[in-house]
Structure formats: structure tokens, C-alpha cells
Amino acid sequence: MKKISDIPVNERPREKLLARGAESLSDKELLAVILGKGTQKDDVLSLSNKIIRIIDQKGIMVSVGDLMEVDGIGLAKAALIASAIEFVRRRIKPEGLKIKFPTDILPLLRHYDDRKQEHFICISLNGANEVLNLRVITIGLVNKSQVHPREVFADVIVERASSIIIAHNHPSGSLTPSSEDRETTIRIKDAGNILGINLLDHIIFNNKGYYSFLEDSAL
């Protein structure tokens, strides 16, 4: 991975933000701006990547303690990141976003569509179809992510969610569901029925478009 010193000045996160706007930065670049600098072991972009893995797993429920599990992140940096997340959550938050159609969650998935590995994501909703949380359940290989219903529903049950939407990116480019995708959908739907938690949709997406099991009457 390139270090900040290896990147042309106009392509460095802070300079890029000032010239092109925050929307032009990747997740790790945005976090790098917040952190300011890395550690003796990791440059700021490498450190950002490690932190993003934790945030992906925990969603908006990430804690200072979770962040401090990353080598090089002490109390001060963990508090800074947690404060930034909470500030945004209160103002521009996925929590409380009301979903009329399952595909309304696509804007929440946008920053995962260029990931090089398959990310399997679960969005939990309450009885009013408002988003409770979004978390990455598993991260797989280039074109395959293994997921089990127990991993999907473990935190969803604690949140007392009424329904879920599952989604994953297809780094290979094709949006056509594989046989494993279909089997996974059936397993999770059946498990949800037993638990009384409805599976609303399974969405496959990339930076070119999406496929919805619900829209294709495959759910």
C-alpha cells in the first residue's frame, strides 16, 4: 500500500478534499484526514484500513474499546473517531432512516461497491421499517463470502429487529446470483421465519448497478 509520502501532493487525502470535495475521497482517505497521521508501525492510510475493518463489523455501535483493539490507536484517537461517528449519527444517520422499498438502502451501500473482496452486509430494521443498524457480517474472497444464519441474526436478535435486508457486493462485476447466493437466501429466510424476523430482500450490487431478489420475485 502506498504511504502518504509516496502519493503526489495533489492526490493526498487532505489536499484532495480541499480541491475536489469530501465526496471524492474513499473511506480510508476520509478517516486518514480525521486521524492526521499514522504510527511508527503504520502509515495513516494503513492505519485507517485497520480501523475501517472494525467499524464495518460493529456498525454504528462501535465503541472506544473496539477501536482501541487496533494497534496504535490509543484513548485519544479512539475518542476522536467515536465522537466523529456519533456527531454524524445524530445528524445524518442511517439509524432511523425509514425504508419504503428495500432498494432504499442502496445509498447506504455505496461505499462498499468498489471493495475487492465480497462483503456480506445485514441491515436491521424495526417494526416501522426504520434502520436500526448496518454491519458487515463477513468478508470473503474475490467472489465468495461464506455466511451462516447464526452470524446474521446474532446481533439482530439483541437489537429486537423486526426485519432485515441482506446485501453483498460482487467484485467480479456480474450481478447474476450464484447458486450459493440463492442457497444462502433460502437458509436466512427460513431461519428468520423461525425467529419471527422477516427477510425483506437480498440485494447484490456493484458500482454499475444492483440485483434484487424481491424485484425478481426470487424471494
Q: What is the pTM of this model?
A: 0.68
Quote the mean pLDDT of the chain. 88
Q: Pull the grid cell for residue 179.
A: 447458486
- In which element (H, E) is residue 136 found? strand 131-139
* pLDDT band for position 143 (cuts 50, 70, 90): low
* pLDDT band for position 120 (cuts 50, 70, 90): very high
User: Is the per-residue pLDDT at 11 higher than 90?
Assistant: no
* pLDDT band for position 10 (cuts 50, 70, 90): confident
Q: How far is CA 194 from CA 35, 80, 187, 188, 190, in A?
A: 44, 41, 11, 10, 7
